[in-house]
Each structure stands twice: as C-alpha cells, then as structure tokens.
Amino acid sequence: MLSNSLVTFNEVMRWFNDLLNLFFPKVCQACGQSLLEQEKVMCFSCLYKLPKTSYHLHDENPVSRVFWGRADIYAASSFLFFSKGGKVQHLIHSLKYKGQQETGVYLGKLFGLDLLQSDLFKDVDLVVPVPLHPKKQNERGFNQSDCIAEGLGEAMNIPVVVDNLVRKVHTSSQTKKSRNSRWDNVKDVFALLDPTAFENKHILLVDDVLTTGATLESCAQTLLKIPGTKVNVATLAYAQV
C-alpha cells in the first residue's frame, strides 16, 4: 500500500514524530502546556515572562547582601525569583526530581548570556558547581548544579570544574568527637583535592536555589583560603527567607 502512494520518507518520519508526541508529548517544564516543535524546555510565553532579578547588573543587591560579614564575595546574583507554587519552582522541580537535566543546562545558558552583560561577571575564569553529598548524588544520579554550571560555562565560554571542590564524607569516628570539634567539622564540609589548580583564579560558584546561603558561604570560605582567588556566586533562583 505504501509503495503505491506518494509518501516520502520525511512524511513518514513526521507522522511517526506526531504519533510519538501524541503518546509522549513534550511539555513546557514551567506551565505544563504542550510544546510547539520550535520550543525547547519551555513555551515561548513562559520564556518571555521569566521573573528575572537582573541583580547581576548591581554591585549591591539582596543576594550579595546575604553574604555580607560572612564571606568576602566579589559579586553575587540569582537568575530568577523563586515563589512557592510558581513557574520557577516547577522548573527547579523538573530539574531536581524529574531528572530533566536539560532544564538545568538550558536555564544555565540563558543565565550565562545575561551574566556576560555584567562587568562584575565577565572576567570569571572558571565555573565550579556546589558539590552534592555523594549519597544524595547516588540517589539522584546527577548533581543539578553540574547541569546549571554546564549551561553557564557554555554560554560564557569558560571551563567547568566539577572534580576539585568536594564534599567531605564523614566517618563514624567523627561523630564521637566533642560537640565543639563537631561544629568545626560542620564548618569544614568542603575540601579541595588540588588547591593549586585554583590559585589566582576568579571562580564562579554555582548552586540551584539560594535560601540562607550557608552552603555557599562554606564553599566560598574553602575557595578563598587559596592564594589569589576571587569568588562570585550565581544561583538559578533566589528564595527570600
């Protein structure tokens, strides 16, 4: 039957694609609507209405203020405002809990293009994602901050380093120490495998959502112990606490 009709290979492929979309439609990771063929990750409507902070254009902003008196951060920004039940929460959820790593890379790229417009961010040498606890990374299968960092690095044309800053795995012997030394351990959660590799580097430290900033502060302090480092902080979303 097929040979008698004038069906081309492309038509068959389009038909197959339509059928695939019928059963597994690609949906906007922010609003859940079906995506058009030319849309990726998000529908155009959600893309244009992203609640951007534009904090990267301001030396002093609510995100940089989070770190005042806690870590000597050169510049800090978050890409989007996070609100409970809002579209940004859906995007973060898609990345973290639905395994949509593409969402993180895509948003990282958009963020990176914005950061290039800022004098505070354009001299960054490398991107470093906040490491996830190894147990958590095993459960999830990936680190969501790695995905965001990948997009940032690509847009800004700078390398991403995922294997130098690491989260220490606590041993049982540490839990037997005194309360005071245990507190020291909590403060020293992160470590560098090769500190010399980061000497005199301007580092862009990346995480998914900024809340209290405790984790980022701890990472930044570890990085700032290395001679000559400058640390910028960038998170995908900012949740006011």
Binding site for Zn ion (CB under 5 A): 28, 30-31, 43, 46
Instruction: Tell me the closest approach of the beta carbon of residue 236 to Zn ion, in angstroms.
Output: 17
Within 13 Å, how many C-alpha atoms sit on residue 77's CB side?
23
What Rg do the C-alpha atoms of the chain give, in angstroms? 21
CB of 193 to Zn ion, least distance (A): 41
Considering the complex, state which of residue 43 and residue 216 has its C-beta at the smaller distance from Zn ion.
Answer: 43
Q: Least CB distance from residue 57 to Zn ion, whole Å? A: 26
Nearer to Zn ion, 40 or 168 (CB): 40
Residue placing its CB nearer to Zn ion in the complex, 85 or 141: 85
DSSP conformation letters of 172-223: HHHHTS-HHHHHHHHHT-EEES-GGGGTT-EEEEEEEEESS-HHHHHHHHHH
Greatest alpha-carbon pair distance for the chain in Å reads: 83
Minimal distance, residue 67 CB to Zn ion, in Å? 33
Rank residues 34 and 174 by Cβ distance to Zn ion and give the closer one: 34
Burial grade of 152 (CB within 10 A; 0-12, 13-18, 19 or more): buried
| Lookup result for tokens 């910028």 | 232
DSSP 86: S
Length of the chain: 241
Closest distance of CB 80 from Zn ion, Å: 14
Nearer to Zn ion, 61 or 94 (CB): 94
Measured between alpha carbons, how far is 150 from 161 in angstroms, rounded to an integer?
Answer: 9
- Residue 104 tokens read as 């993180």
